[in-house]
Structure 1
């Protein structure tokens, strides 16, 4: 089972998360590309650390929303979204290659992640950008996203590999989508609850929704948000719990 985290989200003098510790625990790093967080030096430092630790680098693309950390709904046309995603991919890949690595996959962030789970036009624009970016490099860049979503369908149509993920620190609704941030049960921070939850996600591919319904998820990766309070301790507990359950941690790509 892959273990991923959203990293490289510092910006200038504003520091976010304990990237160094988390990078020693995960197999994939979703690196902010400068649109919701991150700056050139942060991107470079994160990529260098990822390469040194043999951690896969993912482009954590988002809406252009630094003030809202990419979590605000935005009305962006498909042509503009295509260009924004292509720009972010190109920027991070250039920096990653300078650090001795490359972009290995794509994971949309925040409001964009949630929007493309149900909006076919937005999902298609993201897929087109990823497809065209990969075509220049003779590769089909994998996408990491919500299982059973519209973006999963669009990836299959576009011939892009799609891998489902589950969030160990986020609450779920009965339809398999995430509880919107700001609503009760949206964010989980109790490590004693999260670690066994992660093991169940990995071994049984299930999670309990807010209303108690048992949801089945086709997942290949588990996510610990880098900005969640106590994220480093949470990642360590999840990694240890997976090891204790005999679940090896390795990248999906």
Structure 2
């Protein structure tokens, strides 16, 4: 059995620092690097790419809405074609910096409101697929299992990495519980470890109502801006590897190799 651990990174901006990237990087296998719209800037992007390369971590793009003040978590209304071009702009920026460091891009994972909207909004999801196909059809698209985006991407021949959030509760429908719901965010490291192991070994997750639902995933997300994220990432990796589960970058078992 194989699984990838991803983390949103490079979300500092100017003199503002967010997350302990240098500590988290030691336990993950894929880095989702902010591309300057919701967070990050050229210097931070370059430094994060270098950090990933130094630790053998695969590089991916983490594009979001152009919303620095809202950290990309506000749902913005867009005209047809806007989202596609937002993504192309951000992918191009990260690709240019990655290439200057001798790195390749492995995947794309949307950020915040864009991620949530892409999971359910067909028009937006279609634009995401169009952007990936136009930029590099070999990129892996990270998204929620059974989402609208996952379905459309598969139809277009885009490799999909199904993502699981071990520190977030799920509803009976398999969707993420809204953060406003009591118990939506889990803080007990032991509970998080057990959820990850059960997901990989039994392909099941317990919902907010206590019901078990089937779920499969290729990558597990650790939120880099969560206090103690590096400790959680280390605990998850240790639990997986001690159970005989290989923790490797997603391109090793999902779709094609990165460019």
Q: Are residues 206 and 78 of structure 1, via their aligned partners in 2, closer, same or farther at CA, if it must alter by over 3 Å?
A: farther
Secondary structure of 2:33's counterpart equals: strand
Kept in 1: contact 2:199–2:216 (CA 8 A): no
TM superposition score normalised by structure 2:
0.93
Q: Deviations over 1:167-204 (max 9, x none)?
A: 11111111111112232222222212111111112222
Aligned to 1:250: 248
Q: Is 2:200–2:216's contact at 8 Å kept on the other side of the alignment?
A: no
Shift of 1:243: 1.4
Aligned counterpart, 2:135: 133
Of 94, 97, 118 in structure 1, the residue corresponding to residue 96 of structure 2 is 94
**Is 1:174 matched with 2:172?**
yes
Listed as ranges, the gaps of 5+ residues in structure 1 are: none
Moved over 3 A (4+): none
- Aligned counterparts, 1:224-239, within 5 A: 224-239=222-237
Write out per-residue CA displacement over residues 152-179 of structure 1, whole angstroms, 9 at most, x where no aligned residue.
1110122111110101111111111111
The corresponding residue for 1:6 is 8
| Residues 1:211 and 2:204 are matched in the alignment | no
- Higher normalized contact order (CA 8 Å, seq sep 6+, divided by chain length): 2
Deviation at 1:215, TM superposition (A): 2.0
Following the alignment from structure 1 to structure 2, what is the Cα–Cα distance between the partners of residues 212 and 95? 45
Conserved 8 A contact 1:189-1:230: no
What corresponds to 1:146 in structure 2? 144
What is residue 159 of structure 1 aligned with on the other side?
157
| Alignment length (residue pairs) | 249
TM-score scaled to structure 1, two decimals?
Answer: 0.95
Q: CA deviation at 1:77?
A: 2.3
Q: After superposition, what is the alpha-carbon deviation per residue over 1:98-152, rounded to whole angstroms, capped at 9, x for unaligned?
A: 1220211101111111111111000000110111001xxxx42110110001001
5+ long unaligned stretches in structure 2: 252-259
Contact 1:189 1:228 in 2 (8 A): no
